[in-house]
Each structure stands twice: as structure tokens, then as C-alpha cells.
Homo-oligomer: A and B are copies of this chain.
Amino acid sequence: MTPQTGSRQRILDTASELFHTRSYDAVGIALVCDQAKVSKGSFFHFFGSKRDLALAVMDQFQERIDETLVAKAFSSKLPPMERLDRFVKELYAFQKGQTDKFGHMPGCPFGNLAMEQATQDEVLRKKVDGCLRSLAHHIRVAISEAVRSETFPPVDEAATAEAMLGYLEGIQLLAKARNDPGLIRRLGPAVNSIRVPRKA
């Protein structure tokens, strides 16, 4: 790693943690530079704006979630509906670990940015919408396999996948409001009960 890639990565990792554990608006470029130990000049060498930084942070979150939670849960080696149970377990473990580390449950980084910025920044809204659609896609693949193998009833597969993702986002929201990741463990398994019927 060259010193320059080191600085860029430090900025990204610092901003990821700050945006996730506080909020986007609450974290200025000066704070990121201070905690990442880089100058503002160095920051603007790598990122044109705070929004550009946020876009890169969301890309990194997506890559890391794909490499960890998604890779573990949505493995084609698992029976399709067990993937959702595994995803719930991974979500709980992640949020529990973050809560133990920071004292507060930070919730989903995509959901947080959507709720804070979707009405205010169309570029960030489209970015998180894409990240959420990517998660829904993994669920949809599992549902489609389960329907084909007749381990899940025939449903509107795309809509049921979105409904299930919505549910997982929503119980993370309630758990964040309560600062209790245990709610994810208690309510999460019911994700498998959700069905959106095919249109008549």
C-alpha cells in the first residue's frame, strides 16, 4: 500500500464509522480529516465533496456486506429458506457487536442514509436505493429457488423479496429506537412468514 492509498483508505474507514454511528449531517469533512489524520488538501485530492465521500462509503459498505453477511447467508450451499434465517443471525451478530463496541445500536447504514437524506439529496437517495435493491435481489434468488423446489408457496417473488427486506430494515429501525439488538433476534425469524400473493 502506498502512502496515498493509505490516506484514502483511512478517510473511508473513518467516515464509514462516523456516518454509521452518528449521521451524515452530523459529520463534517473537518472531523473526518482530524480523526483520519489527513489534511484537507489530501482529502480533496481523493474526494471532490462530502457527497462523493458518502458515495464511496456506501460502495465500501456494500462490498463488505457482500463479502461477509451476504456471502455467509446467501450461499447456494444452504437450502434457500435457511439463508434468510442465517441472514437474520448475521444481522443480529453484527448489530450486537456494534452495540457492544459503541454503546448504541447503529442500524443499517443504507436505511440510515435513506431516512436522513432521501428527501434532500437525489444522488444519495438513488445510491442507497441501489444498495437496498441489491440486498433484495439476494432474497429474491432464495425465494425463487424455494418456490421451484416447492419448499415455499407460489408468491409474487420480487414483491415478497422486497417485503422481506422491508421487514428486516423495519425491525432494525425498531431495535435502533430501543437500542436493543435483541429485538432482531426475537422478531427476525418471522421474516419467513411474509407472503405477497401473485396479482390476480
Contacts and interface: CB of A to CB of B under 8 A. Distances in A.
A174 B162 contact: yes
Contacts of A179: 118, 125
A41 to B, nearest CB: 27
A125 B175 CA distance: 11
A125 B179 CA distance: 8
Interface in A118-170: 118-120, 125, 128-129, 132, 159-160, 162-163, 165-170
A27 to B, nearest CB: 10
A173 B167 CA distance: 10
A86 interface: no
Interface stretch (A3-11, A67-75, A99-107): A99-107
Contacts of A116: 23, 25, 112, 115-116
B115 A115 contact: yes
A110 B129 CA distance: 20
A163 B171 contact: yes
Nearest to A180: B129
Instruction: Label chain A's interface by main secondary structure.
Output: helix
Given A22-B120, A166-B187, A173 B114 contact: yes
Interface of A: 21-23, 25-26, 102, 104-107, 110-112, 114-120, 125, 128-129, 132, 159-160, 162-163, 165-171, 173-174, 176-179, 183, 186-187, 189-190, 193-196
Contacts of A128: 177
> Which of A107, A173, A187 has the most chain B CB atoms closer than 10 A to its own CB?
A173
A166 to B, nearest CB: 4
A159 B187 contact: yes
A98 to B, nearest CB: 10
